[in-house]
Every structure is written in structure tokens, then in C-alpha cells.
């Protein structure tokens, strides 16, 4: 009988990852973090600036959310790392008792590319609000993330557009590894904060392979797959995700950054991803679009005025339990609260989608689940 060697004197880790069931690459697991257990695969709602757009943290709690995302760049600007440290961290500041993950600020190099400049030392941002300058070196990002106190913190990566080719992509990918070593050296709270490295390399298999090798050597508690969902072809996207999940250690969580389109989270869960985040669900809600089993529902469309049913039959969210599509259609033009209700529905939809997918892995019914999901998603309700 093969037995796993137990290393004595192994330091306790602020993360335990237990795989309960698998189907090919897909896994149903429990991720135990300092602020409680998270069932994976999981979708993490994004509260960039320490607040959700249009949804309270209490409402996220009511939906069963156990892991939220926030962003270091925005929090460093306001309310600032120093203030958050003074109040005892972001959990206390926003009164959230479950887990938090902070992104490092790396992604803002792309999203705020007009206002940022990068070199080997780090990134410099000019604030879009008041033109102040912020230097974000790996050491600064980690220091601020230590002050914020999230359960999972992200390495500062050199992020370029996914469709970048040539030497700049290679430089970014290799620099991400060099920065990781500075992140690791700067990280002061290894006992209660997990630092996840981010695999880069665009859609170039060779660069990805190198990035994977380099990062896996550093033996982190979990890994993220970055640099995707940036306008590349779907086939390249899926192939790259598959390349990463095939190589990343089986006993550690894998987080695919910036992906939250329902079909993508289903496909990528099947490829072995455990964690997702994306602003898409709430952003699209603010434009009046709701997620349903039958695809997207544009509540602004005039014919919705005559639909006296909830967004989704059987959905247990606040919006669906109380209101018809017709009323929401009428509200959109008048009141902010419409966006609030649709956001709640979309977040609840993704949280439930992940829970159902997870249960199907546990029950050995993933194939049936995916068949049903795709059949409905690509078929108009009849
Ligand atoms: N790096 C970081 N955050 C991210 C990404 C990344 O590559 C993505 C993928 N486009 C989303 N968010 N640090
Ligand atoms: Zn609903």
C-alpha cells in the first residue's frame, strides 16, 4: 500500500484544500481559510473598493457567499492601507465575517493603462481622481495587502493585454516570476494570509509552460491563472486554461482570474478550475440584463412590459421572490433600485450555478448537469 509521507514539524498553513469528488479534471472541494470554509468550485463576487456596486455585504451573506474579492490598488488609494491597518483590517472595516481575497493591483496596469507606467522596479499610476502618483512595487502591493489582511493575497504580476505578442509578453511573464520572489520576501503574515502566484504567458504555450514550472517550484498554497479573458479566441482561452490546470498541483486550489460568464465557468470548472471572479454579473445587471437558465434576459426590451413572471422561475433571490419582469422593466427607467435587484439576482444565479455544478460532481452526475445546462442556455425558452 502506498502511503503519503507525513512531514513532521510541517508549519501549519492558513489554508486546507480537501478534494471530495472528481469527474475527469473537475473537482468538488472544500477550501478552508482563516475565516471559514468555502465550497468549490466557487464564484467570488467583486467588491473592488471594499463595497459591492449596489449590493450590501449583508445581502451577500444572505446569499451564502463565503469569499469576496477586493482590490489593493483601489483600497491603497482610499481608504489607504494605513487606515485599514489601524482599524484591524478590511474584515473589520466593512463588517464582513467570511473570507476576503485581494487582487494585487497588477490588473490595473491594463485597465488603467493610459495612467500607468511599468519598469523592473514596479508600476507607477497617476490617479484618475486627483492626479496623485502611486508607486506600486511588489513590496508595496504585499505591504498593503498585509495591512488589508485578506485571507488570500495575490502576487503583483506584470500584466499586458492577452493579445500582446513578441518580446513584451515574454518580458512580462518572466518579470512576474522575478516579482514573485520579491513578493515572497516582503510577505510578513505567512501564518494567516495565503499568497497566490499568478501564472502568466498569454496564449503562448512555451511561455505558459515556463511560467508554470517557475511558479510551481515556489510551492505556494494555491495558484491563479492570469492574463486571460482579454479578447483572445475561445479555443486559445480553453487550451491555455487546460494547459495550466493539467500542470498545477492537484492538491491546491486553482483560481482563474476575471472569468465569470456562465458558460465559461461551467466549461472551466470541467477543466479543473476551482475559483472564479468577474465584475460581469453586476456590470451587466446595471445595464438591465439578467442571467437565466435560457441565457441573457434584456429587461429593458419593450415586450417585457407584458411578462408577469419572475426573471427565473424557482429562483429564491429577493428580486424573483417579490417582483415580476414587467415591474422590473418599469423600474429600470425610474429607480436605482432596479439595478440593485438585478445585481442580486445575477450574483445569486452564479452562486447557485456553482453549487449545483458542485453537487453534480459529488453525485457523479456532471455529464447530465452540463448537458442540461448547455441545452437550456443555447435554446430559447419554449
Ligand atoms: N492579473 C491580476 N488580476 C487579474 C488578471 C490578471 O492577469 C485578470 C485576467 N485578465 C483579471 N484580473 N492581478
Ligand atoms: Zn432571481
**Which three-class secondary structure state does DSSP give residue 308?**
coil
Max CA-CA distance within the chain? 68
Q: Give pLDDT, residue 130.
A: 86
Check pLDDT > 80 for residue 1: no
- Which ligand has the nearest atom to the CA of 256? 1
Cβ density class 278-293: b for 16+ within 10 Å, e for less: bbbbbebbbebbbbbb
Percentage of the residues of the chain whose pLDDT score is greater than 70: 96
User: Per-residue confidence at 276, pLDDT binned at 50, 70, 90?
Assistant: very high
Ligand 1 pocket residue status of 207, Cβ below 6 Å? no
> What Å distances lie between residue 13 and 32, 33, 352, CA to CA?
10, 9, 29
Question: ipTM of the predicted structure?
Answer: 0.99
* Poorest-pLDDT segment among 87-91, 245-249, 378-382: 378-382
314 forms beta bridges with none
Mean pLDDT across 228-247 = 97
> Does the pLDDT of residue 3 top 70, yes or no?
no
Q: What does the pLDDT look like over 44-66, one tens digit per residue?
A: 999 888 788 889 999 999 999 99
Rounded to an integer, what distance in angstroms lies between the CA atom of residue 68 and that of residue 65? 7
Does ligand 1 lie within 6 Å of residue 228's CB atom? yes
By the 8 A CB rule, do 282 and 54 touch? yes
How far is the centre of ligand 1, averaged over its atoms, from the C-alpha of 246 (Å)? Answer: 20
Question: Nearest bound ligand to CA 225?
Answer: 1
Does the pLDDT of residue 11 top 70, yes or no? no
- Specify the pLDDT at position 115: 86
Q: Is 71 helix (H, G, I), strand (E, B) or coil?
A: strand
**Residue 310 above 70 pLDDT?**
yes
Q: Is 338 in the pocket of ligand 1 (CB under 6 A)?
A: no
- pLDDT classification of 335: cutoffs 50, 70, 90: confident
What pLDDT does 114 receive? Answer: 83
**Could you tell me the pLDDT band of residue 342, with boundaries at 50, 70 and 90?**
very high
Is 70 exceeded by the pLDDT of residue 10? no
Q: What is the mean pLDDT of residues 151-168?
A: 95
* Residue 286, all three cell numbers: 446595471
Which residues crowd ion ligand 2, with CB under 5 Å? 315, 317, 319-320, 345
Q: Which atom of ligand 1 is nearest to the CA of 157?
A: 13
Q: What is the rounded distance in angstroms from the CA atom of residue 115 to the CA atom of residue 112? A: 5
- Has 103 been annotated as catalytic? yes
Residue 116 corresponds to which cell in the numbers above? 500607468
Report the distance separating Cα 131 and Cα 121, nearest Å. 21
Q: Distance, CA 327 to ligand 2 centroid (Å)?
A: 14
**Ligand 1 touching residue 257 (CB < 6 A):** yes
Q: What is the pLDDT of residue 284?
A: 95
To test ligand 1's pocket by mutation, which of 122, 152, 198 has the most ligand atoms within 8 angstroms of CB? 198
According to the model, what pLDDT value does residue 288 have?
96
Which residue among 151, 158, 264, 277 is the active-site one? Answer: 277
Q: How far is the CA of 226 from the centre of ligand 1 (A)?
A: 5
Amino acid at each position: 500500500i502506498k502511503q503519503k509521507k507525513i512531514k513532521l514539524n510541517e508549519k501549519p498553513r492558513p489554508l486546507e484544500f480537501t478534494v471530495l469528488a472528481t469527474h475527469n479534471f473537475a473537482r468538488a472541494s472544500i477550501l478552508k481559510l482563516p475565516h471559514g470554509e468555502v465550497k468549490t468550485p466557487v464564484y467570488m463576487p467583486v467588491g473592488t473598493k471594499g463595497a459591492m456596486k449596489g449590493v450590501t455585504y449583508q445581502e451577500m451573506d444572505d446569499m451564502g457567499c463565503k469569499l469576496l474579492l477586493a482590490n489593493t490598488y483601489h483600497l491603497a488609494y482610499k481608504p489607504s492601507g494605513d487606515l485599514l491597518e489601524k482599524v484591524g483590517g478590511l474584515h473589520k472595516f466593512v463588517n464582513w465575517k467570511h473570507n476576503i481575497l485581494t487582487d494585487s493591483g497588477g490588473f490595473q496596469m491594463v485597465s488603467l493603462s493610459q495612467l500607468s507606467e511599468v519598469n523592473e522596479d514596479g508600476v507607477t499610476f497617476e490617479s484618475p481622481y486627483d492626479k496623485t502618483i502611486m508607486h506600486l512595487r511588489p513590496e508595496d502591493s504585499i505591504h498593503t495587502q498585509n495591512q488589508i489582511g485578506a485571507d488570500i493575497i495575490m502576487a503583483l504580476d506584470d500584466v499586458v493585454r492577452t493579445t500582446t505578442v513578441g518580446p513584451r509578453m515574454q518580458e512580462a511573464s518572466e518579470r512576474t516570476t522575478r516579482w514573485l520572489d520579491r513578493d515572497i520576501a516582503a510577505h510578513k503574515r505567512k501564518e494567516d494570509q495565503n499568497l497566490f502566484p499568478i501564472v502568466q504567458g498569454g496564449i503562448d504555450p512555451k511561455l505558459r509552460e515556463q511560467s508554470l514550472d517557475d511558479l510551481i517550484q515556489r510551492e505556494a498554497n494555491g495558484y491563479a491563472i492570469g492574463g486571460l479573458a482579454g479578447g483572445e479566441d475561445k479555443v486559445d482561452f480553453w487550451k491555455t486554461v487546460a494547459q495550466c490546470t493539467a500542470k498545477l498541483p492537484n492538491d491546491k486550489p486553482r483560481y482563474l482570474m476575471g472569468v465569470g460568464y456562465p458558460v465559461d465557468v461551467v466549461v472551466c470548472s470541467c477543466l479543473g478550475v476551482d475559483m472564479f471572479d468577474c465584475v460581469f454579473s453586476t456590470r451587466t445587471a446595471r445595464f438591465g440584463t439578467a442571467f437565466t437558465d435560457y441565457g441573457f434576459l434584456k429587461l429593458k426590451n419593450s415586450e417585457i412590459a407584458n411578462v408577469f413572471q419572475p426573471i427565473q422561475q424557482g429562483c429564491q433571490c429577493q428580486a424573483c421572490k417579490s417582483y415580476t419582469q414587467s415591474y422590473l422593466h418599469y423600474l429600470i427607467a425610474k429607480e436605482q433600485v432596479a439595478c440593485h435587484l438585478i445585481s442580486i439576482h445575477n450574483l445569486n444565479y452564479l452562486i447557485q450555478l456553482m453549487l449545483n455544478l458542485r453537487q453534480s460532481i459529488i453525485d457523479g452526475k456532471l455529464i447530465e448537469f452540463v448537458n442540461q445546462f448547455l441545452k437550456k442556455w443555447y435554446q430559447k425558452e419554449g
